[in-house]
Amino acid sequence: MDESNLIGFKTSSNGDSFTIGMNPSTNEALPGKFSDANEDELNFAVDQASKSFEIFKSTPGKAKAEFLNRVADEILALGDQLISRCCDESGLPEVRIVGERGRTIAQLQMFAKLVEEGSWLEATIDTQQVDREPVPKPDIRRMLTPLGPVVVFAASNFPLAFSVAGGDTASALAGGNPVIVKAHRSHPGTSALIGSAIVEAAQKTGMPDGIFSLLHGKGSIVGQGLIKHPKVKAAGFTGSQKAGMLLYGLANQRKEPIPFFAEMGSVNPVLLLPSSLNNKTVEMLTGSITMGVGQFCTNPGLIISVDSDDLEKFISELGNELSNIESGVMLNEQICNSYNNEIENLLVREEITIDGRAEKSKNLNSGRAILASISGKSFINNFNFSEEIFGPSSLIVRCHNQKELDDVLKTLVGQLTGSVIGNDSELSLYESSIKIMEKKVGRIIFNGVPTGVEVCPSMQHGGPYPASSDSRFTSVGTAAIKRFVRPISYQSWPNDKLPNELQDGNPLNIWRLVDGELTQD
């Protein structure tokens, strides 16, 4: 596989700096060198995006839908080449990558359907009332409009679904915004293949030049350079809190601050009620903790319950199950080293009991499943125990009573999810705990695990800080489009000078709220 087959956006050929894909299973370099963007290329990409915005922002929903559907088709047409390269760069099994490709395609098709149907624009019309007393009412019409060039930071743990053509890119394009993607260094070949598919789709559907660009390079240069660029109008990010908050700060320090939507992970607390301490829950949590070698932002990293003989037995059984899990290859060497270091720092603490630990693997960059426990009192006294460890581990908090359990929940910061496992009759008994959890999370789950995020209109993937930078928005589902648009009202404009969606006799299939009543032209 040579470079010419992989580059989705023409980058530097000066040979000064390259990104090279690595196989985490072997630590061997993969074929292909991907030129890191320099300052001139970064500026060119943003300038082109800004020019294309003037055309793309007014592109009808049907045309945008055709483009998004074509992107999905071109990704599928990459076939085994994409699957093979993605597996090599991520260490993830083929079945996972095939499934993730399916999710990526489904997201694109979902947004295509959304923009063609049109109701997401929230077009509302209040007609004038010239005889209203004491003053006449003007004609006012409101809709959502795109922001401008959007920067998307690809994630490490989802090389397809949260990467170059993932949910951030799909929702930004659906909203009428050109997109510039900062490729993740862990999968440059995969990124370039997907980038080429998007470029091909744009050309085949007549989209303006500059509607999409893919840039490789260091985050400190390319990523920060993009956030600081005055023509960039918004950004989407999935990754660590450290990197997310650095970029968030830059976005707000600009002369013109811009929206920066960061999803920064969480420990996703699981509340075990007494009836849940059984083999079914052991099996459910074992699968969730170790899914994808624990490298999910929704990994259940914290389990909370009231201490009892049944809990001690449950901990023993869950620890045994996790001990028998074969250690999988993590996404890259840095992530693996970080996981191992954080685990070792945790386990040397005298407050911690080790309840289960998988055997060390001979494979490179493998992550061992870990289960540890701690008393509620010790947990409350040290905030560090509530911090996320990115990998296949979970910490059980053994609370003395329900009051202490509530106190543990109160110490937690914002989370993506919270889970409650038990039976219906116990919910009223633990009402205070559940109410505390509701304040902390973006999605609260009953009798289920947080991993496996359904892509649908009702999904909320985002929670109070620091799980995300703005809890009012989601990065998954159709509502993700709301991040990259803003409302605008038109007052007393001639009908033929209004956007098509707001005109009387609008020929598009648009649902609108007219004088308080939902109608369809």
Cis peptide bond N-terminal to 269, omega within 30: no
C-alpha triplet 97, 297, 326: angle, nearest 5°: 60
3-state SS, residue 144: strand
Question: Residues 358, 361, 363, 367: is their CA dihedral positive or negative?
Answer: positive
Catalytic residue list contains 297: yes
Are 40 and 107 in contact, with CB atoms under 8 Å apart? no
Alpha carbons 167 and 105: distance in angstroms, whole number = 10
3-state SS, residue 210: coil
Are 387 and 413 in contact, with CB atoms under 8 Å apart? no
Q: For helices 79-90 and 94-117, what crossing angle results, to 10°? A: 120
H/E run at residue 34: strand 28-35
Selected catalytic residue, list 263, 321, 388, 404: 263
Selected catalytic residue, list 86, 297, 336, 399: 297
Alpha carbons 141 and 124: distance in angstroms, whole number = 6
Alpha carbons 347 and 355: distance in angstroms, whole number = 11
**Range list of H helices, 57-176:** 61-77, 79-90, 94-117, 167-174
Identify any residues that bridge with 512 across adjacent strands, giving them in sequence order: 519
CB atoms within 10 A of CB 255: 6
Identify any residues that bridge with 129 across adjacent strands, giving them in sequence order: 137
Q: Which CA distances in Å does 42 have to 46, 47, 166, 188? A: 6, 9, 21, 17
Task: Sort 95 into a burial class: Cβ within 10 Å, 0-12 / 13-18 / 19+.
Answer: exposed
Cis peptide bond N-terminal to 159, omega within 30: no
Q: Give the residue among 213, 222, 205 at the shortest CA–CA distance from 64.
A: 205
**Range list of H helices, 118-187:** 167-174
Residues acting as catalytic residues: 263, 297
